[in-house]
Amino acid sequence: MVGFENFTERLLSIVSARVLTLVITFVTTPIVVRLLDPAGYGNYAVLLSVFTIWILPVSSAVTEGVQKYVGEDRDGDAAWGARVVGFYFLFGGALVVVSVALLLAFTALGGAAWLFGDSFTLYFYLLAAFVLVAQFRAIGYHAVLGFGNEKATATFDVAKKFLTMAVGITLVVTAGMGVAGMLVGHVVANVIIAVAAAFIVVRTADLSAVTFQSMRELPLRELVAFNALNVVLVFLVLSMAHVDVLMLRTFGSPESTGFYKAALSTSEYLWIVPMALQTVLLHSSSSLWAEGRTEELSRIASRLTRYTLLLVVLMALGMAVLVDRFVPLYFGAEYEASIVPLLVLLPGVVGFAAARPLQAIGQGSGNLRTLIVAVGGAAGLNFALNALLIPQYGMMGAAAATSVGYGSMFAFLLWSAYQLGYDPLQDVRPVRLLATAVISAPVVWGVNELVTNDVLALLVVPPIGFVVYFVAAVGVGAVGIDEVQSIADRAPSRLAAPLRAALSWVS
């Protein structure tokens, strides 16, 4: 059972990988945007949204399940993990075969061309291959994660992003394949990671002892019930991240979709650490739920919520101050239309980021019905507002609707936490959090105004802003010196040294 042993070290593995992935994304996104142009980039964004929604029923039926149950290692059964992996491999494989067959039939009958245009017929055939290989990559990835090998999955994250961009951009540049080339990049990357994950699983678990009879001894009713409910939960969450793009493409133009996607992609940089927390917390919190340690869960959840809000508000503040400089420089002058939608999205993205760890803790409880009610409320609000505002206001309507929907996610998941029996606000210190932001914002804005060169501002403002924010947070008690010292003690030396230096200066 993995639990919270070496939690900081395992979390830092995931965070480090997400940062490296962010660097790759940061470097390659403007290249892809310029190679595909706004219309092509909008079509690419639509295809990724379609992929996410199409694979959702087959992927979410296995991924969180294999990660959760492999991590539990019930009753000291040495073969438990291997049997869980075997069951999910067969179950997930059968689901994806059916899914791919339906997608191929839909495309062959002209469904893709009818929805989006003739060029999408080829794209949807490539999408079918993408769905097939992504399913087996996801099963292997989450099995490795369930075994507590976050270092391996961190490597997978970076390698997948690098391979996708390297292969895709190469095909676009050398073969003129456009959007199709980017899709081939996704297929190749997922094949390579699937093979690597399978190799680690085989070395970790003794799959030779797995038989149909041994798999029948698993609590199949419990596993299937969790799988089915998790499909609903993940569908609701992902609908919030993609329904706006699909609706905007349906009611608007490819160009407006491309501009909006640029704003959405930029705002999602705020999710790096919360998503890493979500990844580690699912299988880590399962052990505490199994042992009924809700008081400890409250303590951990409230502290993580406070840290998440502190970090995400800092990043949102910097993004809001620098957006006028960053967007035209990064995406190109024509993407200035993305600036205002990005600013509108930021408040909601902060709430959605803070909700991510709470979702993982709720999934770890196994009681998904309460979680589904909560997320369903946020998703329903998000869908209704997008349907109401996009036809009238285009991408500004999409930004406003999505921001409200994202922000409501945090409120709904707080309700679900109390229903499940733990308190994520036990030690959040909201007044001190607000004071930190209020003190820091004018200083960060003032520094930005003093620097006239855009590139220099992007280099200078973030570190100065971090120092000001850190001093304010410690000064008002949003975070204690002892807490930072504790983090420094557990962090790798390359991170611990600057933290201790900052602490000594503040003291």
Residue-by-residue DSSP string for 198-267:
HHHHHHHS-GGG--HHHHHTS-HHHHHHHHHHHHHHHHHHHHHHHHHHHHHHHHS-HHHHHHHHHHHHHH
DSSP class per residue in 54-119: HHHHHHTTTHHHHHHHHHH-GGG-TTHHHHHHHHHHHHHHHHHHHHHHHHHHHHHTTHHHHHH-TT
3-state secondary structure 406-472: HHHHHHHHHHHHHHHCCCCCCCCCHHHHHHHHHHHHHHHHHHHHHCCCHHHHHHHHHHHHHHHHHHH
**Which residues, 6 or more positions from 454, have their beta carbon under 8 angstroms from its beta carbon?**
325, 329
Whether the per-residue pLDDT at 38 is higher than 60: the answer is yes
184-209 tens-digit pLDDT: 999 999 999 999 999 998 888 777 77
- % the chain with pLDDT above 90: 33
Q: Select the highest-mean-pLDDT range: 140-149, 286-295, 453-462, 494-503.
A: 453-462
pTM: 0.73
- In this structure, of 69-78, 103-112, 235-244, 245-254, the range with the lowest mean pLDDT score is 69-78
Q: Which residues of 145-160 are buried (b: 16+ CB within 10 A; e: fewer)?
A: bbbbbbebbbbbbbbb
Longest dimension (CA), the chain: 71
Within 10 A of 439 (CB to CB), how many other CB atoms are there?
16
Q: Which two tokens stand for residue 45?
A: 């964004």
CA distance 67 to 46: 29
**Which residues, 6 or more positions from 276, have their beta carbon under 8 angstroms from its beta carbon?**
11, 14, 15, 18
Q: Rounded mean pLDDT of the chain?
A: 84
Helix (H, G, I), strand (E, B) or coil at 4: coil
CA distance 26 to 6: 30
CA dihedral of residues 219, 222, 227, 229 (deg, nearest 10) = 180
388-422 tens-digit pLDDT: 998 988 889 999 999 999 999 999 999 998 988 88
**What secondary structure letter does DSSP report for 491?**
S
The CA–CA distances, whole Å, from 400 to 116, 225, 262, 393, 405 equal 25, 36, 15, 10, 9
Helix (H, G, I), strand (E, B) or coil at 183: helix
**Mean pLDDT, range 456-482, rounded to an integer:** 88
CA distance 476 to 440: 12
Whether the per-residue pLDDT at 1 is higher than 50: the answer is no
Amino acid 8: pLDDT: 63
Q: How many residues does the chain have?
A: 507
Amino acid 11: pLDDT: 67
User: Is-contact 398 389, C-beta < 8 A?
Assistant: yes
279-298 tens-digit pLDDT: 666 666 776 776 777 888 88
CA distance 222 to 340: 47
**What secondary structure letter does DSSP report for 269?**
G
**Residue 241 pLDDT level (bands cut at 50, 70, 90):** confident
3-state secondary structure 280-307: HHHHHHHHHHHCCCHHHHHHHHHHHHHH
The CA–CA distances, whole Å, from 207 to 71, 79, 202, 211, 475 equal 16, 8, 7, 9, 54
Amino acid 78: pLDDT: 61
